Chains A and B, each alone.
Chain A
Amino acid sequence: MDLLLSSLDILARWDVALALLAGSVGGVLIGAIPGVGPAVAIAILLPATFSMDPIVGLTVLLGIYGSSMYGGAIPAILINTPGTAVNALTTYEGYPMTARGEPRRALSLAYSASFFGGIFSVVCLILFAPVLAKIAPMFGSREIFLAALLGLILAVVAHRGQALIAGALASFGIFIQTIGLEPVKYSQRYTFGQDFLYGGINLIVVVLGLFALSQAFVLLASEDEKTRLSRLRGGLFRGPRELARHPRVASVSAGFGVMMGMIPGVGEFTAQFMSYTYAQRSSKRPEDFGHGSSEGLIAAETSNNAVPAAAMVPLLALGIPGEALTAMMLSVFYVHNVVLGPGLFQNQMDFVVALYLALLILNVLVLIFLLFATNALIQAVRIPNRFLGVCILTLSFVGVYSLRNSATDCAMAAGFGVLGYVLKRLSMPVVPIILGMVLGGIMEVKLRAAMARVKEPLDFIDRPVAFILFLAIILVLSTHFRRVWLDRKSLK
């Protein structure tokens, strides 16, 4: 009870309330505009949050992260275009509903499912927090190294059919973070004698280039699409009743979302895939899937909204981001000297619970906002692509230039923007570069610290958590190679 009151005390401030409101409304709006997405918005806003208190800055970013998927369902359902990448599965079931004249039902069900997923995961994690506080201290340098390695491997093998190039790009990310003065012997690495490379390449510069600028280039080089939208008539209050008719699909999907969110490198797509497959296999009407099935829509929306809260677990408990958005948030903690890892759960549990409560409130705010403002939000879909590109390019300037007022940073971001554009054109993954950069840095520091106390190679895994993580790495790799071998065999 004391913990709860202390956490509420952290949140009971006007600037946090404002951040919650701005994050939730802004996130929904960003999600509703196809072509923007939370990664672009968070990358742009990141430097602006550095001057804020950690709880305020994180609330804005978490708000955008948590609420963008709600907004992303709107264009997915109404015009068959996912607002964010994770709403792709929503189009399969949501758009057929719109096509047969039930857009209101689809939207209402998507909002209810998203709300259930969001609340379910936050409640799970608040209940799970004391357990995490006990487990987290079992992670020393070697365990964190192995967890980071596992996260990186999972992020690579998750790109089925592209694991080789994903691995190469993750290695490229590790290489980028080694540039500059190394922290032990203070020798230069790949600086080519250039002053601007001594301090290394800033993560935010790379993030802004790969996510924001590249997306601006994609939009600027694209054609505008004509969208025909009709006004929604009537309320959106029937969704909860329909959701209540499928409690099993909703709770299992939310469970998948929580589990997949907690594993670094996995995230929304795997959670959605597992939930959708489960819903289809256990449905009495599997033939409806792909033609506007309410169970399919519930599975897709519940699982993706359960992920954001869960994705904060490896970040807060171990300092290991599992995907690009939490990797960006990591820099907010760095700037404010908040040390993430086991100590946070032992010494600042109220801060952790405050973050989860913020997510809880945020879900309520988003739902209320959507129930009354959907008709107005639909208009956001009409913004022309290339004008959106102009807007993102202008906003990217704020993100990069306000970091250090450096034109060199901007030039590097522009370079990474062109690289991101090329990768997007080739349908290659961008996220492994960011994860390689962040996790590579963590692995370097932790391996060095861990090896100082290791005499024999097997000593590295002589602690229970380290051994379990090692087994998990072996299991993931062997499963991946077996799948590759089976694929090659079927080719012959």
Chain B
Amino acid sequence: MPTERERRFVGLRRGQLIFALAFVALTLLLLSMITSETRWVEKTKLFAQPRFWPAVALGGMALMGGLHLYRLPWRRITRYDVGETRKWLMVVEYALWFMAYVLLVPLLGYLPMTLVFVPALSWRVGYRSRRMMGLSMAFAIAVVVLFKSLLAVKIPGGAIYDYLPGALRSFFIVNL
């Protein structure tokens, strides 16, 4: 039976304690490094000190993060908290997909890499039909044409384009 304090708590219960503990631990770690990571300049007013605003920010994090931790209605980490942490870690896989895409674009080129990335990730999350693969490819082409060819956003041409013949090489570097 949840207590009144538990009932009034805003947000998901699972993972709250772990997050609050991690937040306070990180704050204390950063605070412990304040003398080595910031400077105190002689003959300078307090408000103009390079250390002033990091101290204010970390002080706020420690005070409010600490009070949040203290006010939490739970004091023990349960298996539900651990399960929630596992869910947080599961999305790291998608962050890695994103980083692989980022690192491969300068090598393989924006269009070829996007044409591989979108259908591959769609496949990974469970879309296996021809229709969804076709949609993924169409989306990949549309994104490249819109942003690189039309809006000319700064995305460098792939190293692989160097192997293309003259005019085609320039076209690929500028537009795709």
Contacts and interface: CB of A to CB of B under 8 A. Distances in A.
Q: Do A and B come from one complex?
A: yes
A171 B94 contact: no
B151 interface: yes
A333 interface: no
A462 interface: no
B122 A221 contact: no
A335 interface: no
Contacts of B156: 405
Interface in A117-149: none
Contacts of B20: 165
B67 interface: yes
A48 interface: yes
A387 B138 CA distance: 13
Interface stretch (A96-104, A106-114, A343-351, A422-430): A422-430
Contact of B23 (A168, A191, A221, A394): A168
B49 to A, nearest CB: 9
Nearest to A166: B64
> Most chain-B Cβ atoms within 10 A of its Cβ — which of A168, A391, A401, A405?
A168
B57 A175 contact: yes
Contacts of B105: 397, 401
Contact of B54 (A167, A178, A427): A178
A189 B54 contact: yes
Given A171-B61, A426-B19, A187 B95 contact: no
Nearest to B154: A402
A25 to B, nearest CB: 14
A394 B139 contact: yes
Contacts of B4: 491
A168 B64 contact: yes
Interface string A154-168: 000000111011011
A393 B54 CA distance: 32
Contacts of B44: 185
B37 A425 contact: no
Contacts of A389: 94, 125
A436 B143 CA distance: 33
A422 B15 CA distance: 9
Interface in B68-105: 68, 71, 84, 87-88, 90-92, 94-95, 97-99, 101-103, 105
A175 B98 contact: no
Contact of A397 (B38, B47, B98): B98
Contacts of A395: 143
Interface in B106-162: 106, 114, 117-118, 121-122, 125-127, 132, 135-136, 139-140, 143, 147, 151-156
B1 interface: no
A322 interface: no
Q: On chain A, which size bracket covers the interface?
A: 35 or more
Nearest to B44: A185
B60 A217 contact: no
B60 A170 contact: yes
Interface in A30-75: 47-48, 51
Interface string A412-437: 00110110011001111000000010
B5 A390 contact: no
B153 A402 contact: yes
A421 B98 CA distance: 15
Where chain B touches its partner, the secondary structure class is helix
A164 B97 contact: no
Interface in A282-303: none
> Most chain-A Cβ atoms within 10 A of its Cβ — which of B12, B58, B132, B154?
B154
A34 to B, nearest CB: 18
A448 B155 contact: no
Contact of B99 (A188, A410, A427, A436): A410
A393 B136 CA distance: 13
A384 B127 contact: yes
Contacts of A51: 151-153
A3 interface: no
A407 B95 contact: no
Contacts of A391: 118, 139
A437 to B, nearest CB: 10
A192 B37 contact: yes
A162 B61 CA distance: 14
Interface string A474-492: 0000000000000100010
Contacts of A220: 91, 94, 125
A284 B44 CA distance: 65
B68 A387 contact: no
Nearest to A428: B11
Interface in B18-65: 19-20, 23, 30, 33, 37-39, 41, 44-45, 47-48, 50-51, 53-54, 56-61, 64-65
Contacts of B118: 390-391, 394
A386 B39 CA distance: 47
B10 interface: yes
Contact of B50 (A174, A182, A398): A182
A361 interface: no
Interface of A: 47-48, 51, 160-162, 164-165, 167-168, 170-172, 174-175, 178, 182, 184-185, 187-192, 213, 216-217, 220-221, 384, 386-387, 389-391, 393-398, 400-402, 405, 407, 410-411, 414-415, 417-418, 421-422, 425-428, 436, 440, 444, 447-448, 451, 487, 491
The 9 closest A-B pairs by CB, nearest first: A171-B60, A175-B57, A161-B10, A427-B11, A168-B64, A174-B57, A168-B65, A167-B64, A164-B68
8 contacts: A171-B58, A187-B41, A187-B50, A189-B50, A190-B30, A391-B139, A405-B154, A407-B103
Interface of B: 4-5, 8-12, 15-16, 19-20, 23, 30, 33, 37-39, 41, 44-45, 47-48, 50-51, 53-54, 56-61, 64-65, 67-68, 71, 84, 87-88, 90-92, 94-95, 97-99, 101-103, 105-106, 114, 117-118, 121-122, 125-127, 132, 135-136, 139-140, 143, 147, 151-156
Given A221-B90, A394-B143, A425-B88, 8 more contacts: A168-B68, A220-B94, A221-B94, A389-B94, A390-B121, A397-B98, A400-B102, A427-B11
